[in-house]
Amino acid sequence: TTHISLLLNLLRVSVAKIHQFYEKVFRVKPVLDEHVTLIKDLAKSIEVDFWSPENAEQVTAGTDVDIRVPAIYLDLVYTMLQQSEMEHEVLIEDVQRAVDGQADTGPSPRAHSYTKYNTWSVIESWIDSIASSNANLVSKQSIGNTYEGRTMTILKLGKKSSSSKPAIFLDCGIHAREWISPAFCQWFVNEALTTYGSDAQMTSLLDQMDVFVLPVFNVDGYHYTHTNNRMWRKTRSRKSGSSCIGADPNRNFDAGWCTLGASSNPCSDTYCGATPESEIEVKNVANFIRKNKSVIKAYLTIHSYSQLLLFPYSYTYDLAATHNELMSIAEGASSALRSLYGTRYTSGPGATTIYPAAGGSDDWAYDLGVKYSFTFELRDTGRYGFLLPESQIKPTCEETMLAVKYIAAYVQKNLY
């Protein structure tokens, strides 16, 4: 492999940052330790965007690796794959075409739509109108501002009550490029409001409990994926001493912070941040959950992609104290989800089901005492990855709704 590293050295050139993606997404299948080493070396030498797992450290033999490769490195990567005889396939032939092809249901209207990927400004006005037109069931509250000064707003869904009610916390859009995630939070809110009074389960849920919904967690990053770079993942914070921007909000919570599956390099996509809760968005959410700890009984966070329903722990291989209960809820929720379109989800603790990753919001909430803590990784399994077409928003949200309602019903029956 020495001639490969020679090639790599020759190719250490900086790429002009025009975000036109003439690139491919490969799925490579490392089966030998030397394959793993090769992928890690490649990642050190050129700009490779890890789609799954989330960074080079998490690559292991026997697990597929999805990577996005810039056009100028394609020849190099093909050469490396051929010489190493590593099995591989091309998942996305032309990333730019897939980016353009997301809107496969026609051009995006300026108006809000539940079956489109809405921009932040459209979501923001949707939040205002949803709250004002459903005053009997919805109130909105700001939990603070983002790094770039945008407002983080929580929608509180539930029948108004004079006494405090137990609650479920749901957030979407921790990672900017996972566009299907905020789409689900919007869908959930709409579904709750339109079926309240007719659907017995939803009515009972909102009568007895509140649901706090944060439609977009990483607002700055989400906005940036619509204006500058569709593949952005992190926040948009700046740190003195580095020209690289942002930290991974899902590595920035105070749960085994920066020990496993996270990076202390500010340029990494899984940078854990300068300190736990260094990212203002994370601090705002953590403060809200701490403040409402006595009422919050469940924490649900929505990501993509992989079709997984995960629960603690991710920062350790140790099983959670309530592992068996969490596993049975996850299995029940997955089978509810599967009942609609046959979509298969895998359930389990984060560390063993995908890979160890410290500083995640679900582990943090669980350790805080929120007993029912789950992370969804929505569709798909890599055909489109983060670039899931808009035609899949409706079926994805419909089936995910069944899983979320299953968990909510369980929590409602098992309050503590």
CATH of the domain at 84: 3.30.70.340
pLDDT at position 282 over 90: yes
> What is the chain's mean pLDDT, rounded?
94
- Cα(31)–Cα(48) distance, rounded to whole angstroms? 20
My answer on whether 176 and 310 are in the same domain is: yes
My answer on whether 92 and 139 are in the same domain is: no
Q: What number is the average pLDDT over the span 277-287?
A: 98
Q: What number is the average pLDDT over the span 104-111?
A: 77
pLDDT at 147: 98
My answer on whether 51 and 137 are in the same domain is: no
Selected catalytic residue, list 57, 279, 377, 399: 377
pLDDT at 182: 98
Going by pLDDT thresholds of 50, 70 and 90, the confidence category of residue 13 is: very low
My answer on whether 127 and 96 are in the same domain is: no
pLDDT at 106: 77
| 357 within domain boundaries | yes
Q: Cis bond leading into 380, ω under 30°? A: yes
Domain ends where: 101, 130, 162?
Answer: 101
**% of the chain exceeding 90 in pLDDT:** 89
My answer on whether 69 and 175 are in the same domain is: no
| 152 within domain boundaries | yes
My answer on whether 293 and 197 are in the same domain is: yes
My answer on whether 165 and 96 are in the same domain is: no
pLDDT at position 1 over 60: no
| 325 within domain boundaries | yes
CA–centroid distance for 361 within its chain: 11
| 16 within domain boundaries | no
181: closest CA among 170, 169, 194?
170
pLDDT at 2: 55
Helix (H) / strand (E) element for 155: namely strand 151-157
| 199 within domain boundaries | yes
85 is annotated as an active-site residue: no
Domain that holds residue 65: 24-101
Domain ends where: 43, 68, 101?
Answer: 101
My answer on whether 80 and 125 are in the same domain is: no
* Burial call 46-62: b when 16+ CB within 10 Å, e when fewer: bebbbbbbbbbbbbeee
Residue where the block lists tokens 């990642």 = 43
pLDDT at position 12 over 50: no
3-state secondary structure of 317: coil
Report H helices in 196-291: 200-208, 219-227, 280-291
| 144 within domain boundaries | yes
Going by pLDDT thresholds of 50, 70 and 90, the confidence category of residue 127 is: very high
Report if pTM > 0.85: yes
257: closest CA among 314, 322, 318?
314
Look up residue 396 and give its amino acid. T
| 223 within domain boundaries | yes
Domain ends where: 101, 136, 160?
Answer: 101
Number of domains in the chain: 2
**Predicted confidence (pLDDT) per residue in 334-346, tens digit:** 999 999 999 999 9
| 186 within domain boundaries | yes
CA–centroid distance for 321 within its chain: 25
